[in-house]
Amino acid sequence: MTPKRKISLLLAVTAALSGAALLLGQDIRDFITKNAGKPALAVVEFRGSGSQPQMAAFNSTLFSDLENSGLFELRPRSSYPLDNPQRPEDLRPADNNQGFALADWAGAPVNASHLVFGYTAAQNGVLAVYGYLDETRPSNPQAAQLLGQRYVGTLDDAGAIRAAHQYAADIISKFGGSGSLLGSRIYFVSDRSGSSEIWAMDWDGTNQTQLTTLKSTSIMPAISPDGSRIAFTTFAKGTPGIMIVDTETKRVVPFYNQQASMNATPGFTPDGKQIFYSSTASGTAQIYAAQVNGQDFRRISHREAIEVEPKINPKNPSMMLFVAGPGHQQIYQMSTEGIGVERVTNGEGEASNPAWHPDGQHLAFSWTSGIAKGDFNVFVMDIGSRQYVQLTHGEGRNENPTWGPDGRHLVFASTRTGKSQIYTMLADGSQVKQLTTQGVNRFPVWGVK
């Protein structure tokens, strides 16, 4: 295949993958703003025994994790009392606004509903962190504690950061935070090494690592539910085919590609035992299903339109979303047996990249409708009511949204800085954070580690 033909085919495949009023009914508004009336946290800076330079890393990580969770309102430290408790025994029933009574934190100017405090120490060559979470309303300190836990780590920044992540995750779980970003990874495509390869990074953008060295073009990765395998479309053998790689060993896992000019856009079932994908084995690209090794493949859809990007509902494995024509690409749903095809988006513009929320009731997707028509933006929709909200506005091309395991964050690709990079944001479109800077980075997916 000539380079020109290869580029043309790649553009055709990615095109197939990839002003209207916002229909903000009460259901979708409740979902997007479900954290209204957030708990107000006062997060006291931890102090260590002796000289512990890693305290700066611990404190900044703890504050950042709680702030970025989307669950809390963090009270400004400028409003805190002069003195701060470190141990539960520091707390008193009353303290004349000196900082050692819970009432000092509940009232003005702090107005916190909960107090996060504790201390660290170097013990037997390890960093020991004692973290507490108290309600500020009870007058009796003994009745106020919600969390008291010891965490350990190495005596360096890495150990302090790890302990802060664990402590923050425990606090989040106390407030019903479903899932945690701790330990999760984001997989994406980057050309920084000279070719479009699969890369991985931690949920916060650290530890960016190259997984494949195919020296070809790879696109559209999908991660297995347990995070052990990543499937993607690659041109490594000329025509687009599916490849699977073990995320720990980086070794290629056997997958049989049926005879076709294109096998692409794979997606795992919730149990990880099957893969749904698009194939031109019958002529026009249609949805197929196979065992996770590519065997026992079978055709699912039988339409005259091009169909790609099958995504199986995590709560109802008999239902899928996919992207198809005729005409401009739209998002459709049908059963995993190919029955009951129904268009989900309204037919305006071009819609692509559907991604199920962990609850199986909402989806994120890219659409050229809405404000600033013509560029793809990220939307969230309630699948039952078809109510939707636009999350990105007028900042380049925003595509390939995928939910984090906590159901509160999204990762997506955007050209807002000129070339495509990977970003995260909360489900209401706030707290946008850029994770990549080197090369061109696209097609992010979020999985467990």
Lowest-confidence pick of 34-38, 333-337, 412-416: 34-38
Strand extents, DSSP E, 9-139: 40-43, 73-74, 114-123, 126-135
Dihedrals φ, ψ of 217, to 5°?
-115, 120
Give the tokens for residue 423: 């970003």
Report the mean per-residue pLDDT for the chain.
89
- Residue 370's pLDDT band, with cuts at 50, 70 and 90, is low
Q: What pLDDT was estimated at residue 92?
A: 87
Predicted local distance difference test score (pLDDT) of residue 324: 96
Q: Shortest CA distance to 119 belongs to which of 45, 24, 210?
A: 45
Q: What is the pLDDT of residue 7?
A: 38
Residue 223 φ then ψ, to 5°? -105, 140
Contact predicate 336/319, CB 8 Å: yes
CA dist., res. 265 & res. 279, Å (int) = 9
pTM of the predicted model, to two decimals?
Answer: 0.84
| Confidence at residue 49, expressed as pLDDT on a 0 to 100 scale | 66
Domains in the chain (CATH in brackets) are 3-33+180-447 (2.120.10.30), 40-174 (3.40.50.10070)
Distance CA 331, CA 309 (A): 9
**Strands 377-382, 218-223: pairing kind:** unpaired
pLDDT at 17 over 70: no
State what percent of residues in the chain have pLDDT above 90. 74
Q: What is the pLDDT of residue 30?
A: 63
Query: What DSSP designation does 196 have?
Result: B
| Mean pLDDT, residues 366-377 | 78
> Is pLDDT of 163 > 50?
yes
Give the residue-averaged pLDDT of 345-359: 95
Alpha-carbon distance of 320 to 354, in angstroms, equals 10
- Report which of 407, 308, 411 is spatially closest to residue 360, judged by C-alpha positions: 407
- pLDDT band, residue 105 (cuts 50/70/90): very high
Residue range 57-75, pLDDT digits in tens: 999 999 999 998 888 999 9
pLDDT score at 22? 40
The closest alpha carbon to 268, from 326, 325, 204, 225, belongs to 225
Tens digit of pLDDT for each residue in 185-240?
A: 999 999 999 999 999 999 999 999 999 999 999 999 999 999 999 999 999 999 99
Helices (H), 93-152: 102-106
Strands (E), 23-104: 40-43, 73-74
Cα distance between residue 359 and residue 361, in whole Å: 5
**Hey, what are 177's tokens?**
């935070």
pLDDT at 20: 34
pLDDT at 23: 43
pLDDT at 8: 46
Bridge partners for 101 per DSSP? 92
In this prediction, residues 144-167 reach a mean pLDDT of: 93
Beta-strand pair 362-367/351-356? antiparallel
- What token pair was written down for 258? 């049926």
